Structure 1
Amino acid sequence: MIFTYNKEYVGDVLMVIAADSQGAKLAVERKGRVARVYREDSGETVAWNIFQVSSLLEIAERGQIFLTDEQAAALNQELSKEGFAAELVNDREPKFVVGQIVEMEAHPDSDHLNICQVQVAADKTIQIVAGAPNAKVGLKTIVALPGAMMPKGNLIFPGELRGEKSFGMMCSPRELQLPNAPQKRGIIELADSETVGTAFDPAKHWQG
């Protein structure tokens, strides 16, 4: 789940994105200060809006935020009070991490995409379809995992590119809005000494 808050532009509303709506027609069910957004075709919950959230939590950040377990429990208590049986899952794992391309093959239905197997933890490798011209086996870069919100506000969900499954995105300096980022295409290139799975730290991972 992705938690976002921007009081200046949206108001005192905590938005919780639970799933990719995939363009489906949506409906809203509201009880008190809690609104559930769901797909009309399947009933699947895709988001929650919690209004006047500052009376429940103190939030200083703007954009994607990460809750403490105590804050998540307070929100779940509010959902229960309003009659919703669902529970918000508080995922506190980093969503931008150091990854390494360990395998790469050309996409069978594209002249510029590659299907990459990218190690993102000591015990985890995911498939990412990418068109970066500098992608190569052995390269270490920054990976946005499902559940990440990019600086421009777009969300990372599992998906497909031309029929091939993709579970994240390898990021360019420009996409991460890093200072003095080159405007040319290409994912960020990290030193070989960086450790796979380490959370992204702009001060450490970028000397633009």
Structure 2
Amino acid sequence: MLIASMNQKASPDVLVVILAPNVAEQSVETNQNIARIYDPKTDKTLGFNFIGVSHIDKSIAGNGPIELSDDQINALKTAVEQAGFDATVLVADRTPKFVVGYVESTTKHPDSDHLLVTKTRVDNDETLQIVSGSPNMQEHIYVVVAKVGAVMPNGEIIWPGELRGVSSNGMITSGRELHLQNAPQKKGALILPDDFAKVGDPFDFELGNKLFV
């Protein structure tokens, strides 16, 4: 997983690369203007901050989430190696993160009166277990799934997790959470028309905006 972003107002010319979820206790080591954030218990790299990233690659710029090219990632890898860190962790994941899903089944959550445990089919004919609290959740509907690694419009990153002890891998989203134009500002999964797209297709945000015209 590799999620990159910049916030030019708060930290000009700093590229933040996130590789794994936060942990309760983190440590930082810095060399050559590259800060490695890691889990001190396992030594797992959680991410890097590239301070003055334009000195590494002038083409890396922007504000908000950034999709890095292969050449840009290679430039970052070279800089990470020169700083004495492991660069093999910088691997791009270019698979779509917002896809059309199909809710195949729902069961009651064993420790909640409002959560449902869904089996939802996504791309590559994969079925994910996703816990949902949407009041309109039901079987046999087409939905938009934010897969693990998705960056929501509000900046939230979707990671594997648990809801009241039940594992959940992804999120079934609402129009409001996707920031679709004129979407109802209330809870509830976005239920797509049956002919909107095929299961597993990347979700078309422009087409999604037309659902509420």
Q: TM-score range by the shorter chain?
A: over 0.9
1:205 is the counterpart of 2:208: yes
Match of 2:157 among 155, 158, 172: 155
1:10 is the counterpart of 2:11: yes
Provide the residue aligned with 2:43 in structure 1: 43
Question: C-alpha offsets along residues 149-203 of structure 1, whole Å, 9 cap, x if unaligned?
Answer: 1111111100100111000001111111112121221011111122111112211
* CA distance in 2: counterparts of 1:187 and 1:10, whole angstroms: 35
* CA distance in 1: counterparts of 2:58 and 2:72, whole angstroms: 7
* CA distance in 1: counterparts of 2:184 and 2:126, whole angstroms: 30
Q: How far has the Cα of 1:10 moved from its partner?
A: 2.5
Aligned residues: CA RMSD:
1.4
Q: How far has the Cα of 1:58 moved from its partner?
A: 1.5
Indicate the SS of the match to 1:29.
strand
* CA distance in 2: counterparts of 1:107 and 1:160, whole angstroms: 12
Contact residue 150 and residue 157 of structure 2 kept, 8 A: yes
Gapped runs of 5+ residues in structure 2?
none
* CA distance in 2: counterparts of 1:105 and 1:61, whole angstroms: 43
Amino acid at match of 2:205: P
Contact residue 60 and residue 72 of structure 2 kept, 8 A: no
Match of 2:177 among 171, 175, 178: 175
Indicate the SS of the match to 1:127.
strand
User: How many percent identity over aligned positions?
Assistant: 43
* CA distance in 2: counterparts of 1:12 and 1:125, whole angstroms: 40
Match of 1:195 among 195, 198, 208: 198
Contact residue 173 and residue 188 of structure 1 kept, 8 A: yes
Provide the residue aligned with 1:32 in structure 2: 32
Q: 1:57 to 1:198 in 2, by over 3 A?
A: farther
Amino acid at match of 1:79: V
Contact residue 180 and residue 208 of structure 2 kept, 8 A: no
Contact residue 54 and residue 61 of structure 2 kept, 8 A: no
TM-score by length of 2: 0.92
Question: C-alpha offsets along residues 77-129 of structure 1, whole Å, 9 cap, x if unaligned?
Answer: 11111111232011111111111111111101100000011111142111100
Provide the residue aligned with 1:19 in structure 2: 20
Contact residue 13 and residue 61 of structure 2 kept, 8 A: no
Indicate the SS of the match to 1:185.
coil
Amino acid at match of 2:113: D
Runs of 4+ that moved beyond 4 A: none
* CA distance in 1: counterparts of 2:131 and 2:123, whole angstroms: 18
Indicate the SS of the match to 1:204.
helix
Residues matched between the structures, number = 207
